[in-house]
């Protein structure tokens, strides 16, 4: 084990974190918008909307992300029609292809998460809002979405972490994010174990921070969670149970 | 039933036969299977190519049993060190950088490095100044220097694709880094896909390999001189662990034999269409 090499390459690999964040958060942001539209289309009760939405979710959840990235990057570029189209300046760039693939992938998963969140909103609240005269977008914005969002947040936090890790696949299409840079250094030093420990460690720290942040947001949006946590602790203390 | 039993017994006898010679050593040789005609993978997933045939010849000569395994290029040296196999025959050139971590047999072939573009590209018909055919990086002459300088001007600002961990990527890093943008690929196949898609303007790699891909129908036109020497190393050899001195001696001897008896030349003509042997 070459610890000096690990220490030397840490700042170099860390320099790829910027690219990792750009890929992940651009894809998450665009994917979230897409997912909201898809979730609403799927729940709309109109077959011409729900069928394509469900089809998209099915395709992107049932195929490996590596295959999706490869087909979007190398696959689309094989067609003269694509190369001649107005989309080519965009699809020519590996960065855009990676964001597109990650976005389509997270969009499918997030649509399912949002659907689950919306389904979990108690029907009584929707009825009460209707009784107050809310409907359509207003009902969605004030009642459905905030409640659904809180419900879906733990699952979505999971999705954020999965996306940070999934962005490493962008290294297969020549992008130099954390894993890409680690691969370059491996190419120079022939030391894969050392470099993968370094890059793995960086992902570990990033995801530790992110999962804490999501948890904090959860407690902020649902203060009753903290109360129930506190009361749970008090009850256990009263019963003489050690709280770990 | 009887017939079935007989077949089973015959099969068992076949399986046991090599075991009868307990002295015979088994050597595991790794190849990439994605670098035609050096090594390739056929439709059934079997490894084929010049190096597969040569490995079988060398093993016969060394009186050892050979097992040829496929290994992705970017992990081929680390896996040798991790003892997943004993030797590498994967179009790997002998370079100073690689000699720091592994050992090599004497070379069994060499192929000059070439630049290539799409056939309709303006550089496809580029004439090398002074008709220099080969630039030897370890023995540069004035005409070679002129040709190199003109080539530099011609490709200035282009995006050039290259396979990772190769003599070719080392050369771009050392000599053309500020002249062209370099994009590295895990395999030659992906690199050529991006050349055809127009994402890179040119590619740089083994001339023999580019010729094979061009013959196969890929849109590739080589241009400019061939490169060898210096960064490009002393030719392609068998990669071995540093502590395996006896295996190196065995391979060196067998390669010398294959050179002298024309085995390498014959296989080279068969797979490359020209002679890549060193002697």
What ipTM was assigned to the predicted interfaces of this complex? Answer: 0.74
C-beta separation of B35 from B190 below 8 A: no
Q: Contact B169/B163 with Cβ under 8 angstroms?
A: yes
CA A181 to chain centre: 22
Residues A148 and A27 in one domain: yes
- Are the C-beta atoms of residues B223 and B116 closer than 8 Å to each other? yes
Instruction: Supply the pLDDT for residue B19.
Output: 46
Q: Which residue of B has its CA nearest to A76?
A: B197
A184 vs B contacts (CB less than 8 Å): 164, 184
User: Of the residues A128, A151, A170, which one is the last residue of a structural domain?
Assistant: A170
Mind listing the pLDDT tens digit for each residue in B102-123? 999 999 998 899 999 999 999 9
pLDDT at B20: 43
Distances (CA, A) of B2 to A81, B5, B9, B12, B269: 64, 5, 11, 15, 49
- Is A234 in CB contact (< 8 Å) with chain B? no
Q: Do B193 and A74 touch (CB under 8 A)?
A: yes
Taking CB atoms and an 8 Å cutoff, what residues of chain B touch A187?
A: 74, 164-165, 169, 184
Evaluate whether A70 touches A172 at the Cβ level (below 8 Å): yes
> For residues B275 and A206, which has the higher predicted lDDT (pLDDT)?
A206
Last residue of a domain, one of A120, A151, A170: A170
Q: Do A183 and B81 touch (CB under 8 A)?
A: no
Distance from CA of B39 to the nearest CA of A (A): 21
Q: Are residues A126 and A222 in the same domain?
A: no
Same domain, A102 and A166: yes
- Considering only alpha carbons, which residue of chain B is nearest residue A94? B199
Say yes or no: A83 and A120 in one domain. yes
- Give the closest residue to B20 by CA, choosing from B61, B69, B65: B65
State the total domains in chain A: 2
Residues in chain A within 8 Å Cβ distance of B101: 190
Distance from C-alpha of B246 to C-alpha of B251, rounded to nearest angstrom = 9
CA distance A92 to chain B (A): 6
What pTM does this model have? 0.81
Are A47 and A118 within one domain? yes
From its phi and psi, is residue B141 left (phi > 0), alpha (psi between -120 and 50) or beta?
A: beta
**pLDDT number for residue B3:** 61
Same domain, A132 and A112: yes
Nearest to B101 among A83, A92, A190 (CB): A190
Paired with B27 in beta bridges are B66
Structure tokens at A203: 């992902």
User: Quick one: closest CA in A to B101, which residue?
Assistant: A190
Q: Cis bond leading into B37, ω under 30°?
A: yes
Q: What share of chain A is helix, strand, coil (3-state, %, to 5)?
A: 85, 0, 15
Question: At residue B13, does pLDDT exceed 60?
Answer: no
Q: By mean pLDDT, which of A136-150, B7-21, B144-158, B191-205 is the weakest?
A: B7-21
> In the prediction, which pLDDT does B111 show?
87
Which residues of chain A have a CB within 8 Å of the CB of B185?
174
Contact across the interface for B193 and A77, Cβ inside 8 Å? yes
Structural domains of chain B sorted by starting position, each given as residue range(s) with its CATH number in brackets? 2-109+234-271 (3.40.190.10), 113-232 (3.40.190.10)
Same domain (yes/no): A166, A180:
no
The number of angstroms, rounded, from the C-alpha of A160 to the middle of its chain's C-alpha atoms is 4
Same domain, A137 and A44: yes
Q: Which A-chain residues 1-20 have CB contacts (< 8 A) with chain B?
A: none
Chain A interface, best mutation among B199, B203, B217, by max A CB count within 10 A: B199
Are the beta carbons of A174 and B183 separated by less than 8 Å?
Answer: yes
Question: What was the pLDDT predicted at A145?
Answer: 87
pLDDT of residue B8: 61
- Whether A5 and A188 have beta carbons less than 8 Å apart is answered as no
Partners of B116 in beta bridges: B203, B222
Q: Do B198 and A78 touch (CB under 8 A)?
A: no
CB A57 within 8 A of CB A106: no
Q: Quick one: A101 and A211 in the same domain?
A: no
Inter-chain touch A74–B185, beta carbons under 8 Å: no
pLDDT at B4 over 70: no
Residue A127 sits in the same domain as residue A205: no
Instruction: Express as a percent the part of chain B with pLDDT over 90.
Output: 72
In Å, what is the CA distance from B161 to each residue of A83, A135, B14? 19, 57, 48
Which of residues A170, A201, A228 is at a domain's end? Answer: A170
Residue A198 lies in domain: 1-16+176-244
Query: What are the 10-residue block averages of pLDDT along chain A, 244 residues in total?
Result: 92 96 98 96 94 97 96 90 90 95 97 94 91 88 89 94 97 93 89 95 97 93 76 72 54
**Average confidence score pLDDT of chain B:** 90
Cβ-based contacts of A89 with chain B (< 8 Å): none
pLDDT over 90 at B279, yes or no:
no
CATH number at A111 reads: 1.10.3720.10
pLDDT band at B247 (very low <50, low <70, confident <90, very high): very high
pLDDT in the model for residue A231: 72
In chain B, residues with a C-beta closer than 8 Å to the C-beta of A192 are 75, 78
Pairwise CB contact (< 8 Å): A187 & B78: no
In this prediction, residue B6 carries a pLDDT of: 61
Q: What is the DSSP letter of B74?
A: G
A7 lies in the same domain as A37: no
Q: Closest partner residue to B77 among A174, A190, A193, by Cβ?
A: A190
Q: What percent of chain B has pLDDT over 70?
A: 91
A89 and A153 assigned to the same domain: yes
Greater confidence (A213 vs B177) lies with A213
> What gap in Å lies between CA B230 and CA B137, rounded to an integer?
5
In the predicted model, what is the mean pLDDT of residues B35-60? 95
Q: Which stretch of A3-17, B130-144, B147-161 has the lowest confidence by average pLDDT?
A: B130-144
Residues from chain A contacting residue B74 (CB–CB below 8 Å)? 183, 186-187
A74 CA to chain B: closest CA distance, Å?
Answer: 7
More confident residue, A87 or B1: A87
């Amino acid at each position: 084990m070459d610890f000096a090499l690990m220490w030397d390459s840490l700042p170099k690999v860390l320099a790829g974190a910027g690219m990792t964040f750009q890929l992940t958060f651009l894809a998450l942001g665009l994917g979230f918008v897409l997912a909201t539209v898809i979730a609403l289309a799927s729940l709309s009760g109109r077959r011409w909307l729900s069928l394509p939405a469900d089809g998209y979710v099915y395709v992107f959840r049932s195929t490996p992300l590596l295959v999706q990235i490869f087909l979007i990057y190398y696959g689309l570029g094989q067609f003269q029609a694509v190369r001649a189209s107005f989309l080519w300046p965009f699809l020519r760039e590996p960065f855009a292809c990676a964001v597109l693939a990650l976005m389509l992938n997270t969009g499918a998963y997030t649509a399912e998460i949002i659907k689950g969140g919306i389904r979990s909103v108690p029907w009584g609240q929707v009825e009460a809002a209707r009784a107050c005269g809310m409907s359509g977008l207003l009902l969605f914005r004030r009642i459905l979405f905030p409640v659904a969002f809180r419900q879906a947040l733990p699952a979505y936090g999971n999705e954020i972490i999965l996306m940070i890790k999934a962005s490493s696949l962008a290294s297969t299409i020549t992008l130099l994010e954390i894993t890409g840079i680690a691969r370059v250094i491996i190419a120079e030093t022939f030391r894969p174990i050392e470099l993968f420990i370094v890059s793995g460690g960086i992902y570990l720290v990033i995801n530790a921070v992110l999962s804490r942040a999501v948890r904090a947001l959860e407690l902020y949006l649902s203060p009753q969670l903290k109360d129930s946590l506190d009361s749970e602790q008090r009850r256990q203390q009263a019963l003489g149970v050690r709280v770990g | 039933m009887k017939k079935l039993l007989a077949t089973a017994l015959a099969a068992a006898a076949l399986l046991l036969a090599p075991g009868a010679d307990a002295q015979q050593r088994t050597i595991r040789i790794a190849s990439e299977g994605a670098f035609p005609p050096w090594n390739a993978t056929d439709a059934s997933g079997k490894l084929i190519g010049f190096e597969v045939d040569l490995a079988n010849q060398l093993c016969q000569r060394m009186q050892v049993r050979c097992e040829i395994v496929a290994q992705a290029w970017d992990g081929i040296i680390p896996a040798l060190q991790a003892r997943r196999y004993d030797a590498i025959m994967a179009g790997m050139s002998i370079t100073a950088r690689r000699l720091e971590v592994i050992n090599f047999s004497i070379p069994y072939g060499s192929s000059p490095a070439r630049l290539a573009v799409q056939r309709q590209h303006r550089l496809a018909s580029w004439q090398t100044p002074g008709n220099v055919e080969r630039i030897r990086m370890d023995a540069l002459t004035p005409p070679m220097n002129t040709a190199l300088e003109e080539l530099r001007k011609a490709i200035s600002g282009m995006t050039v694709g290259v396979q990772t961990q190769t003599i070719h990527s080392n050369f771009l890093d050392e000599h053309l880094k500020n002249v062209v943008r370099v994009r590295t690929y895990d395999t030659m196949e992906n690199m050529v896909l991006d050349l055809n898609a127009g994402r890179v303007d040119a590619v740089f790699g083994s001339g023999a390999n580019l010729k094979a891909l061009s013959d196969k129908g890929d849109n590739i036109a080589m241009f400019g001189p061939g490169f060898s020497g210096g960064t490009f190393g002393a030719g392609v050899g068998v990669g071995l662990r540093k502590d395996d001195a006896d295996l190196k001696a065995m391979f060196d001897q067998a390669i010398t034999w294959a050179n002298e008896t024309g085995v390498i030349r014959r296989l080279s003509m068969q797979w490359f269409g020209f002679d890549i042997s060193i002697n």
